Structure formats: C-alpha cells, structure tokens
Chains A and B, each alone.
Chain A
Amino acid sequence: METTTKPLANAPTLAERAHNVRRNALRMGEVQGQGYIAQALDIADVLAVAYFHAMRYRPEDPAWEERDRFLLSNGHYAIALYAALIEAGIVPEQELGSYGSDDSRLPMSGMASYTPGMEMSGGSLGLGLSIAVGMSLGLKRKKSTARVYTLFSDGELDEGSVWEAIQSAGHYKLDNLIGIVDVNNQQADGPSTQVMAFEPLVDKLQAFGWFVQRVDGNALDTVVAAFDAAKSHPEPKPRMIVADTLMGKGVPFLEQREKNHFIRVEADEWQLALAALEAGKQ
C-alpha cells in the first residue's frame, strides 16, 4: 500500500474494504430511494483494490501533487466512488446522508467542483479517457511518477471519442495511464454486447497498442494481481484492465433481479439489501 498514512497493524482487509464500500453505497441509495446501486455493487471490488491497494494518495490532502489521479468517466457511478472516498477518509462519513440532496457535495452525477477527490465532471459519457490522455501527458512533462487511473463503462465503448483517446494513448505510449473498463454487459437500452457489439475487446485494445488484462472484476485476488501487473508491466504502453463484473454483486436478490441499467429497489428493500450484504460477509 503506497498511501502515505501507515497502515495500522489491524488494518481492514480488502474484503472488508469492499464490503464497506458496498454498505456505504446502499446507505446512500436508501437516502435517495434510488441510484445506480447495481453498478456500485459490481464495481466495489475494483474500487477497494484501487483505493486500498494500488493508489497513492493522502486522504487529508485530496489535491496532493504526487497523488495518483482517479478519473470517473462514467459519472453515474458517483454513488460507488463516494462510497470509496468515504471509506478512504477523503469524504467525511457524516456527509453520506446528504447524497443527491440540495446543496450536497455528493450529487447523483459526479462533478469535479463538488466533491473532494473527484477529478473530473462526468455525466456526459466518453469524456474520461480524453482527459486522462492530457493528464498523463502533463504528468510526464512534469516528470511526475503519479499515475492516471480512469474508470469507464462498457457502454462508453460505443462513443467514438473513446477510441480517439485509446488510439492516442497508444501513440504517445502513455505507460502512466491505467484504464479500467467495467464490463457488466448492461447499458441504458439493454445488454451492451447487443446494443453495439464491442468484442473481441482484448484483441482490439491490444491492436491499439495497449497492455491488456481481462479479469473477473469481482474476484479480489485477481483484481489485485491485475493492478500489480498494470503498474509493473515493463513495456512503454498504456494499460487496460477489462473487468467482467456482476451487477448487484454481494446482494443475492439484486444479483438475480432482471438486469436493468437503472435497477428498481423498493423502499422496504434497502434494509433487506443491507442485511443480505451483512449475511454474506466473508
């Protein structure tokens, strides 16, 4: 762990971190009665590894110059990132109850000027990788060793601009850029692979000059190994982690619910979901 705060001897395990990220997300979902909760649950393991294994940052100084940058291109995943930022101590836990409310620093779609630790304004999909290319070029100019992590969704692969950025990152050999694409195979109009076929994704990304790994995004050990390899890979290439994930992961009745981009959770189900999450705690 490269955070500058020394881990305590009894520091939570990654599994506990992922659990806490899921719990924070469910609590925020309950506040609003809605939210992209199925996505938050699917990506919690990736965020736990990013924030509690891979990334370098100072919770008390979110703008620390040497921090690794984390860009949330899929701004509707804000509920998930807030959950991680709270767990990381970057956003105070007491703000959790303000999620999506008037004057909150935690709006439903992530925006840079609202939230400590939020590096870009998402919402309009397909922006993140382009910004990441500029940041990665900028960090190289400054001879910084910081990295740029960018999370985006499989639906964003439909956007032409994403491929402009993928092509240019290969051109500029941006080895300080680590992309993570959440393949949960669900976007607004249905399964992503049916909305617009994007496979074979690994082959495509490799052809664009990237070092690519495809992993089960809900298996902590393999996610850890993927982040480690992305950081240590010797070739001067940008790195992509293709993370296959399960929407609703960790709450069995949501995992089994008919797949939907914006999953419906009834008012009485939030506590049931939290209970199911606790029951499944490893």
Chain B
Amino acid sequence: MMKSVRTAPQRGKPRLTTSAMIASIASEGQRTKPAPFGHALVELARNRTDVVGMTADLGKYTDLHLFAKEFPDRYYQMGMAEQLLFGAASGLAAEGFMPFATTYAVFASRRAYDFIHQTIAEEDRNVKIACALPGLTSGYGPSHQAAEDLALFRAMPNMTVIDPCDALEIEQLVPAIAVHKGPVYARLLRGQVPLVLDEYGYKFELGEAKMIRDGKDVLIISSGLMTMRALEAAQTLAGDHVDAAVLHVPTIKPLDTETILREAGKGGRLVVVAENHTIIGGLGEAVAALLMRAGIHPTFRQIALPDEFLDAGALPTLHDRYGISTSEVARQIKQWL
C-alpha cells in the first residue's frame, strides 16, 4: 500500500515560517524572565549540597547549563540515553542525593516510562524530573510534542505532577518540590519565559489550586500556560460583558479536590477546563471525574488538544488551529455561553 502524503501548500497565501523545535511561547511584548528553572536550581543548590543535576544531552535546552556552570562536579551528563538517565537518577537518589533530571517531556514520558515507573516511582525515590517542551510547545511535530505526558504520569503511583504557568511559578516550585520527599514530574518552560502571575500576587504551593481572578459567568479551570491564556481571554471576555473566573491548578496530582469542588459547586457558572494537553487523561478528565463522583453537574466543557497526531508548523498557527490560543479560548467560551 502506498503511504498517503500531504498535498503541497497553495501558492500566494502568506504564512508563518517557523516550525522550529524550540519556539517561544511568549507573545509579542510580553514580559519575560530568562531561564527561571536554571537560576532557581542554582539558588537551591547553594544551600542543598545533596542536589545534583543530570541530563541526557539537553543541558542547554532545559536551562540546566546554568547549574552545570556553577556546580560542574555535581553535574552528570548521561549522554543521549534517557533510560540510563532515569535509572542512574534512581541510583543517586538511593545513595541519598536529590537528582534534578532533565530532558524533553516526550523522552521522559514515552521513551523512559518503564524506567521511571520501576526504578523511581515504584521505589519512591526522591528524583525531580523537569521536562521542557510540554504539550504543544514545539512546532517540530509529534516527535517533540508531548501531548500525553500528564496522562502518563498521572497514571503512575507515587508520582507528583506539576504543570506551571510562568517564570514566577517555576522559580517558586523548585524549592517547593525539593522539600517534598518523593518523585516529581514538573513540566518546564525554558529560555525566555513569560512572567504573568506576579501581577496577581501569586505564590505557588504544592498541591494547591488558587483563584487568580473571580467572575460570575464562567469558571475557567486551567493549568500551565493555559492559565495565562485564560487570564488574557478573561480580559477579552470582559469587553463583551462576560465575567470569567480563573482557577489555576498547577498541581495535577495530587489534585486540590477541595478547592475545585468548592468553586465548581457554586453553581450558575459554565465550567471550562483548559489545558495544553490531549483531551484524554489530563486535567479536564480528572476534573470531570471528580465532579461526577461528587454529584456536582455544572455545564462542563473542555479546551484541550485533539486526540490526533498534531501538525508541524509555527506555534501561533498551531495554537489557533487546535483551539488553545487566547483568541480561540475566548471565542469558544462565548460560543458556549
């Protein structure tokens, strides 16, 4: 059977040209902070001599190079070998160290899953896994688009799962997960990372969902970069006299069930879960199941990536195409109201 190949693009239509592996998620003019994970880890490691850094040939691309420069003797380059990376991280943790192991989300969740499952989670080893390119944050195509990472790590016993929104949250989660004893999977935004939550006086606390803004018409429950999209969409919606609340849920597991049930149970609001993740098995389905079990039945909608292999292309194009850009978030919510 012949493989089916896409048809060539039509001429003449202007289009964005960046389908790069690493693309910035910052919108034009947005405030950013460089390498929040790398800087926060260096700060942490000054006082915590048990911290070691490990990577599989992606030190520069996970901001771990800052740690490597500051603490070269505490940095382990494991080569392009993710299974080894996590097995060795387990071994270092067994000897009392706290490895921060970095790679791309696709490689941790898909290639090394059994190693993380068996050598880290099953043995409850104190390894912090920080992964760049979560969800749809690369224009490179499915090889680098980790649309299912949250579903995979949510399903793993003992694993704490975090989807941070911005530079502030990443800075704050590094010391917070160091205090927590046990394995953690944290999605990582790297490079020039948008800074948003400082305007809201936000503070990250492990396991806690936080109301970033209140509103009476729609409750957007979101994680990761979708919280900044939700906040921007809320401003757009306000112009159309739609009052949107945003509940930020950075800890996907364990879920802050109390806060979610309290806010979703208030009634009178459309509940929308927005996530940078496939519609299968992420925050949306976690919240839906929680509400069903609790007998709370608001009108419920999901904004998430479709259950398909996503296209290569420029990120703004793809975020529009799959409904997770600010304008698409606002448009869908208006349509549902």
Residues of chain A whose beta carbon lies under 8 Å from any beta carbon of chain B? 111-113, 119-121, 123-124, 126-127, 129-139, 141-142, 160-161, 164-165, 167-168, 171
Instruction: Give residues in B with beta carbon < 8 Å to A.
Output: 52, 76, 78-79, 81, 83-84, 86-97, 99, 114-115, 118-119, 122-124
Could you tell me if B95 and A127 are in contact, using CB atoms closer than 8 angstroms? no
New A-B contacts (19) at CB < 8 Å, excluding given A131-B87, A167-B79? A113-B122, A124-B118, A127-B118, A130-B91, A130-B115, A130-B119, A131-B90, A133-B88, A134-B90, A135-B92, A136-B91, A137-B88, A137-B92, A138-B92, A138-B96, A141-B97, A161-B81, A164-B83, A171-B79
Which of B79, B122, B124 has the most A CB atoms < 10 Å from its CB?
B122
A-B pairs with beta carbons under 8 A, tally: 94
**A interface secondary structure, majority:** helix
The residue from B84, B94, B119, B122 contacting A164, defined by CB atoms under 8 A apart: B84
Q: Which of B81, B83, B91, B96 contacts A132 (CB 8 A)?
A: B91
The one of A120, A133, A168 in contact with B123, judged by C-beta atoms closer than 8 angstroms, is A120
Q: Do residues A135 and B91 form an inter-chain contact, with CB atoms below 8 A?
A: yes
- Residue among B76, B78, B89, B122 with the highest chain A CB neighbour number at 10 A: B78
Residue pairs across A and B with Cβ atoms less than 8 A apart, 24 shown, are A113-B122, A119-B94, A120-B119, A121-B122, A126-B83, A130-B119, A131-B87, A132-B91, A133-B84, A134-B88, A134-B90, A134-B91, A135-B95, A136-B91, A137-B76, A137-B92, A139-B95, A141-B97, A161-B84, A165-B84, A167-B79, A167-B81, A168-B79, A168-B88
- Chain B residue nearest to A131 in the complex (CB): B91
A156 to chain B: closest CB distance in Å?
A: 13
The complex places the Cα of A112 from the Cα of B93 at a distance, in Å, of: 14
CB contacts (< 8 Å) of A123 on chain B: these are: 118
Residue of A with least CB distance to B84 = A164
Which 5 A-B pairs have CB atoms at the shortest separation, nearest pair first? Answer: A134-B91, A130-B87, A138-B95, A134-B88, A135-B91
What B residues does A171 contact at CB under 8 A?
A: 79
- How distant is A128 from chain B, measured CB to nearest CB, in Å? 8
With a cutoff of 8 Å between Cβ atoms, the chain A residues found around residue B88 in the complex are: 130-131, 133-134, 137, 165, 168
* B96 neighbours in A (Cβ, 8 Å): 138, 142
Instruction: Compute how far the CA of A133 lies from the CA of B88 in the bound complex, rounded to whole angstroms.
Output: 6
| A138 with B94: CB separation less than 8 A | yes
Given the known inter-chain contacts A136-B91, A138-B94, please indicate yes or no for A130 contacting B84, CB distance below 8 A. Answer: yes
* Interfacial chain B residues near A141, Cβ < 8 Å: 52, 92, 95, 97
Q: Please name the residue on chain B nearest to A135 by beta carbon.
A: B91
Is B91 in contact with A168, judged by CB distance below 8 angstroms?
Answer: no
A152 to chain B, nearest CB (A): 12
Contact partner of A131 among B94, B114, B124, CB < 8 A? B94
Tell me whether B119 and A121 are in contact (CB under 8 A): yes
Please state if A134 and B118 are interface contacts (CB–CB under 8 Å): no
Q: A147 to chain B: closest CB distance in Å?
A: 13
Expressed in whole angstroms, the minimum distance between the Cβ of B166 and any Cβ of chain A is 32
When the two chains form their complex, are residues B83 and A130 in contact, meaning their CB atoms are under 8 A apart? Answer: yes
CB contact under 8 A between A161 and B87, given known A141-B97, A168-B78 = yes
- B92 A127 Cβ-Cβ under 8 A: no
Q: Which residues of A contact B114 (CB under 8 A)?
A: 124
**Chain A: CB-nearest residue to B73:** A141
CA–CA, A135 to B89, complex, Å?
Answer: 9
Q: How far is the CA of A17 from the CA of B97 in the complex (A)?
A: 36
Task: Give complex CA distance A127, B119 in Å.
Answer: 7
Q: How far is the CA of A136 from the CA of B94 in the complex (A)?
A: 10
Contacts of B119 in A (CB 8 A): 120-121, 127, 130-131
Report chain A residues within 8 Å CB of B87.
127, 129-131, 133-134, 161, 165
Complex Cα spacing A132 to B91, Å: 6
- Are B91 and A142 touching (Cβ within 8 A)? no
Give Cα A139–Cα B88 distance, bound, in whole angstroms. Answer: 12
Provide the residues of chain A in CB contact with B52, threshold 8 Å. Answer: 141
Identify which of B92, B96, B97 gathers the most chain A CB atoms within 10 Å of its CB: B92
Minimal beta-carbon separation of A75 from chain B (angstroms): 10
Evaluate contact between A137 and B79: CB separation under 8 angstroms. no
- Most chain A beta-carbon neighbours within 10 Å: one of B88, B114, B124: B88
Residues of B within 8 A of A167 (CB): 79, 81
Of all chain A residues, which has the CB nearest B54? A134
Name the A residues within 8 Å of B91 (CB-CB): 130-138
Residues of the A chain whose Cβ atoms lie less than 8 Å from the Cβ of B79: 164, 167-168, 171
Min CB–CB distance B213 → chain A (angstroms): 44
For B83, B92, B95, which residue has the most chain A Cβ atoms within 10 angstroms?
Answer: B95
CA distance A130 to B118 in the complex (A): 12
Q: Which residue of B lies closest to A132 (CB)?
A: B91
The 8 Å CB contact of B97, one of A111, A138, A165, A168, is A138
- What separation, in Å, do the CA atoms of A139 and B122 have in the docked complex? 22
